[in-house]
Amino acid sequence: MCGIAGRILKREGEVGRDLVELMDAQAHRGADSTGFAVYTKPLPQGGKVRLMGFDRRNLNSDLDDVIKILKNHGSDLLTDPQIDDASSAHYSVRLEVKEPANVENWIAEADLISNRIEVLSYGISLEIIKDVGDAKAVADKHHLRTMQGTHGLGHARLATESDVSPKASHPFWARPFPDVAIVHNGQITNYYLWRDKLELQGYRFMTENDSELLAVWISDQKSKGLSLQQALIKSVSEIDGVFTFMISDLNGIGLAKDRFAMKPLVTLESEGELIAATEEQAVRRIAPDRWDVFNYDGPSMTQIWPLRKMEAAA
């Protein structure tokens, strides 16, 4: 019974605030953990890294190892690390780094220490922030409401198939593809079949969550020449289970729903803007008096909402 959300703005603005509102309105759908994928202003050079460490007592040594691995791949810090000021055992770090010579090789080495500190996302724009607790708690801890950007995703999780932990929270990054994230409501029944196939191709997974699999599956299909639309259509026939998922990249947000149409999604759409959520009352919190609601209630549905050329701020 998870809740998901997506938001696209006509111009760069308070996308973090809107995503928090969408997820707060759906907190009853899952308060085990809440997460956000926010597309902030792209860096002119290099990339943004979001990390989660699992023992704050080892923060300094963990970061030293992260930086050492970056340097092994021709990268380095562009700014000082930003570290959360919470008292929890786990901790979050934001880095801006010079682009590694080969992102896939860098991530492969970084994953060797993922039991201590894990790369949650990498890209010129994407920043994934997730934690245990409801939307308000996570937003307060990580200052989500002040994040400016163009679009993003949100997720409220009720754990069914994996642990309640910061690590198992959504959204998931499509490792190692920069700037791709996913949120998902449902259950994939041929998960291990596809995981085995993808691992044979060299992909690595940080959890046993089926949403992480979907992100990599779609990205792998695109790497083989399919468009996002083609990959979404293929997912409906190749992926078994009941699911509604939204996948995001630098160009916008895509949607796929399974053949049984068990998991709802409603949207408000107008002139390049998108407000999407599992429940209508959530989208109405953002735009109570604007636009007609569209209910994506049919089977085998796919949709792409492109990010239009940004309008100048008024």
Mean pLDDT of the chain, nearest integer = 94
**Domain spans, the chain:** 3-42+125-304
Per the confidence metrics, is the pTM higher than 0.85? yes
| Other CB atoms within 10 A of residue 249 CB | 23
What is the topology classification, in CATH, of domain 3-42+125-304?
A: Glutamine Phosphoribosylpyrophosphate, subunit 1, domain 1 (3.60.20)
Amino acid at the residue 143: H
Per residue in 122-179, pLDDT (tens digit) is: 999 999 999 999 999 999 999 999 999 999 999 997 765 556 677 778 999 999 999 9
pLDDT in tens, the chain (314 residues): 689 999 999 999 999 999 999 999 999 998 789 999 999 999 999 999 999 999 999 999 999 999 999 999 999 999 999 999 999 999 999 999 999 999 999 999 999 999 999 999 999 999 999 999 999 999 999 999 999 999 999 999 776 555 667 777 899 999 999 999 999 999 999 999 999 999 999 999 999 999 999 999 999 999 999 999 999 999 999 999 999 999 999 999 999 999 988 899 999 998 889 999 999 999 999 987 777 899 998 889 999 999 986 554 43
